[in-house]
Amino acid sequence: MQVATVQHDSAKREMTRTCARQIAWVVGFAVALVLSAQVRFYAPGSAVPVTLQTAVVLLAGFWLRPKLAAGAVALYLAAGFTLAGAAPGLAVFAAFAAGKAATLGYLIGFLPAAALVSALVGQFARLTFGRALAIGLVGMTVMFACGLAWLTVLTGSAVVAVQQGLAPFVVWALVKTGVVAALASAAPLRR
Is 86 domain-assigned? yes
pLDDT at 116: 98
Stretch (H or E) spanning 42: strand 40-42
Q: Specify the pLDDT at position 54.
A: 96
* Residues present in the chain in total: 191
| Domain-embedded: residue 22 | yes
Q: What is the DSSP letter of 125?
A: S
Question: What's the pLDDT band for 53 if we cut at 50, 70, 90?
Answer: very high
- Mean pLDDT for all residues in the chain: 87
- Specify the number of domains making up the chain: 1
The reported pLDDT for the residue numbered 99 is 43
CATH of the domain at 175: 1.10.1760.20
Tell me, yes or no, whether 131 lies in a domain. Answer: yes
In this structure, is residue 191 part of a structural domain? no
Can you tell me the distance from the alpha carbon of 127 to that of 123, in angstroms, rounded to the nearest whole number? 9
**Domain span at residue 48?**
2-186
pTM of the complete model: 0.86
Instruction: State pLDDT tens for residues 78-126.
Output: 988 887 766 555 567 765 544 457 788 999 999 999 999 999 999 998 9
Q: Where are the alpha helices (DSSP H) in the chain?
A: 2-38, 53-63, 66-86, 104-121, 129-155, 158-165, 170-186
With beta carbons less than 8 A apart as the criterion, state whether 106 and 169 touch. no
